[in-house]
Amino acid sequence: MANENQSLVVKHNALINASYSLTLVEQRLILLAVVKLRQATHNDELDHLAFDKPVVIHVSDYASTFGVANSTAYETLKDACKTLFERRFSFVEPRPKGSANITTRWVSYISYIDDTSTIEFTFAPHVTPLVTYLEEHFTSYDIEQVAQLKSSYAVRLYELVIAWRVKGKTQKIAVLELRSKLGVEPNQYETMEAFKRRVLNVAIKQINDNTDIILEYEQHKKGRQITHFSFSFKHKKKPIDSTSKVVDRDPTTADMFLEGLTDKQLTRAVHSKKFIADYNGLVSAQNPANQSSGAWVAHMVEWLKKDPSNFTKRPIKEYLDDEQAPKF
């Protein structure tokens, strides 16, 4: 599995759509931790049932990922340790009868170790399931896409819109809801002019300059008052590498069929009897992804998305049309 992209940030959509306020450094720390959890999972280092194991982040990891000096990272991470433990956020959790509005801390504990220049912490119990072993209703993107964003609002806005990557546009979002999801405090940028100038316009410029999408917004009014915003975006065209060799592709190979498929469709394909029969042996017995069918399916969906060349035994459509396997 060495070819898998292990720099993906993967979050449940409940967390993507949650309301919270974090500084840029705190957001970056959370994103690095999510990536570290995935890397540990793929390397068979993480016991899926032992969520009390700490995530360890070295100052140099932070510095190299986000393009800052080690000395700067050292001081900013020490400061973040003092504040992240107190941060809380709210999200909606579906229940068999209705839904629960949950408020939780991000971390159960956090510490800075001077001798090793590392931070270690564990996610709070309600947070870990939102960032590991996701079978469906999740959003993923490469941490590289947000590494150069300097505004915490830009990071959050990118996450919110990229969850709509299949459609390329969001639904209408009420102004108060958008402010809450971006982490804008009630007493910040209270006028619409200030909100657009200091939050939206800054975030969109950074996203357009530094990520893989071009984003714009539309404002919706009731009378003369702006009540909602919606966002649309297009993926930037990748530059053509003139030195690369053009290879004729067999149209039955897996990656020819992945474009345009939703995570739900990929989950269905992976959970088919034929797919499991074809690829069940790819995951080692020691890998925590074998703890449950949900964990295995989520693991394989991510692998399929990032390295489809490993899955060429049949066209993806054949798996989509196949009978679903029982949970195992």
Q: What is the mean pLDDT of residues 203-231?
A: 96
Query: Would residue 181 count as lying in a domain?
Result: yes
Same-domain pairing of 115 and 41: yes
Q: Which residue has the higher pLDDT, 96 or 219?
A: 219
Same-domain pairing of 11 and 125: yes
Number of domains in the chain: 3
Same-domain pairing of 65 and 123: yes
Same-domain pairing of 76 and 136: yes
pLDDT per residue as tens digits for the range 79-108: 898 899 999 888 888 788 888 888 999 999
Same-domain pairing of 135 and 166: no
Q: What is the mean pLDDT of residues 2-24?
A: 74
Checking if the pLDDT of 197 tops 90, the result is: yes
Angle at 32 between CA 20 and CA 289, to 5 degrees: 100
Query: Would residue 170 count as lying in a domain?
Result: yes
DSSP secondary structure letter of residue 111: E
Checking if the pLDDT of 255 tops 50, the result is: no
The residue range of the domain holding 67 is 1-147
Sheet of strand 118-123: strand arrangement: 55-58, 118-123, 107-113
Give the three-state DSSP class for 28: helix
Same-domain pairing of 130 and 74: yes
Same-domain pairing of 2 and 143: yes
Query: Would residue 104 count as lying in a domain?
Result: yes
pLDDT per residue as tens digits for the range 44-73: 444 443 455 788 999 999 999 998 888 888
Report how far apart the first and last C-alpha atoms of the chain are (Å, whole number).
22
Query: Would residue 243 count as lying in a domain?
Result: no
Same-domain pairing of 97 and 112: yes
Last residue of a domain, one of 147, 162, 191: 147
Highest averaged pLDDT of the listed ranges 171-175, 237-241, 320-324: 171-175
Here the CATH number for the domain that contains residue 209 is: 1.10.10.10
Last residue of a domain, one of 238, 263, 293: 238
The whole-angstrom separation of Cα 165 and Cα 83 is: 33
The pLDDT assigned to 2 comes to 35
pTM metric for this prediction: 0.66
Q: What is the mean pLDDT of the chain?
A: 80
Q: Which residues contact 255 (CB under 8 A, 6 or more apart)?
A: 308, 309
State phi, psi for 124 to the nearest 5 degrees.
-65, 155
The pLDDT assigned to 302 comes to 76
Query: Would residue 23 count as lying in a domain?
Result: yes
Both tokens of 113, joined, read 């170790």
